[in-house]
């Protein structure tokens, strides 16, 4: 099955810094999503981005489907950005396969 790798696994930032999270996948996909998991476990949809570039406030994402990777950019990070960020992809049957996540900690 399809493999999903996220990097880095952990990231510590000072408030105000920028960061880039990466997601590599091993096969062509028809769905790619980025999520933020809050402390209560809820998965917050950040981007649905099987290809192209999108922006939402301080967050943006780019997926280069032909090269099988996606990037999530966080600018001017805030303490509330802390948590685990997951990339998930699907290529058949709608089954999302998750990466291992990046745990982000933003210090004041």
Partner 1 sequence: GAVVSQHPSRVICKSGTSVKIECRSLDFQATTMFWYRQFPKQSLMLMATSNEGSKATYEQGVEKDKFLINHASLTLSTLTVTSAHPEDSSFYICSASRGPEGTEAFFGQGTRLTVV
Binding residues for partner 1 (CB under 8 A): 30-31, 33, 35, 40-43, 45, 48, 50, 86, 88, 90, 92-101
Reading the block at residue 64, the tokens are 């280069």
Least distance (Å) from partner 1 to the CB of residue 29? 9
Nearer to partner 1, 17 or 98 (CB): 98
Query: In the bound complex, what is the minimum distance in angstroms from residue 101's beta carbon to partner 1?
Result: 6
User: What token pair was written down for 15?
Assistant: 């408030």
Q: Which is nearer to partner 1, 15 or 48 (CB)?
A: 48
**Pairing mode, if any, of strands 10-14 and 102-107?**
parallel
Rounded CA-CA distance 48/64 in Å is 13
> At its nearest, how many Å lie between partner 1 and the CB of residue 100?
5
Cα torsion 23, 26, 31, 35 to 10°: value is -30
């Amino acid at each position: 099955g399809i493999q999903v790798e996220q990097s880095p696994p952990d990231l510590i930032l000072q408030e105000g810094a920028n960061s880039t999270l990466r997601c590599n996948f091993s096969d062509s996909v028809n769905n790619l999503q980025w999520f933020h998991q809050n402390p209560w476990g809820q998965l917050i949809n950040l981007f649905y981005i099987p290809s192209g570039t999108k922006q939402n406030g301080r967050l943006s994402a780019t997926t280069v489907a032909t090269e099988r990777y996606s990037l999530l950019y966080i600018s001017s990070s805030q303490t509330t950005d802390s948590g685990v960020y997951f990339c998930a992809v699907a290529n058949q049957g709608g089954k999302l396969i998750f990466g291992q996540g990046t745990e982000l900690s933003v210090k004041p």
